[in-house]
Amino acid sequence: MAHDINASDLGIDVASGEERALFKWFLASFLFGKRIQQEIAADAYRAIVEKHGRDTPRKLGSCSWQQIVDMLGEGHYVRYDESTADRLLKLCDKLEKEYDGKVSRIRERSADRREVQKRLEAFEGIGPKTAEIFLREVGKVWFR
């Protein structure tokens, strides 16, 4: 059985705690959280981040809805492309407005892991599964 794709499989060093790495894993977790094959989610991530360089909330959030749909399509992430594009724009907007564009602020503004999970789930399109995927890696850094 194939293992769950993790941050290091995508070349993301979450242990660095670096903001760009945190956002990349946040984005990847969001894509993995949908009912879609992991490899397709990984390909969509690579199209957005590696091919198009949309590796910050500002860079991704400045895309049009159609540009995001097209990038998702390049990764064959087509089943949920329209709703996902919409939610990714909202995710970037919320990160910018409520957390100064920094995923690390979610941790800074939370008392504990449970509050981090609650804040993550306040993003449209993020439920317990996506929060669990994100925290599976970032939790090791944030909650030592």
Residue recorded with tokens 């059985």:
1
- At 34-82, the pLDDT tens digits run 888 999 999 999 999 999 999 999 999 999 999 999 999 999 998 888 9
CA distance 131 to 45: 17
Exposed (0-12), middle (13-18) or buried (19+): which is 99, by Cβ within 10 Å? middle
Q: Tell me: pLDDT of 3 over 80.
A: no
Phi, psi of 141 (to 5 degrees): -90, -45
The pLDDT-based confidence of 1 (bands split at 50, 70, 90) is very low
Which domains does the chain possess?
Answer: 8-142 (1.10.340.30)
Contact partners, residue 14, CB within 8 Å, separation at least 6: 7, 21, 22, 25, 137, 138, 140, 141
Give pTM, 2 decimals.
0.95
Each residue's pLDDT tens digit, 9-38: 999 999 999 999 999 999 999 999 988 899
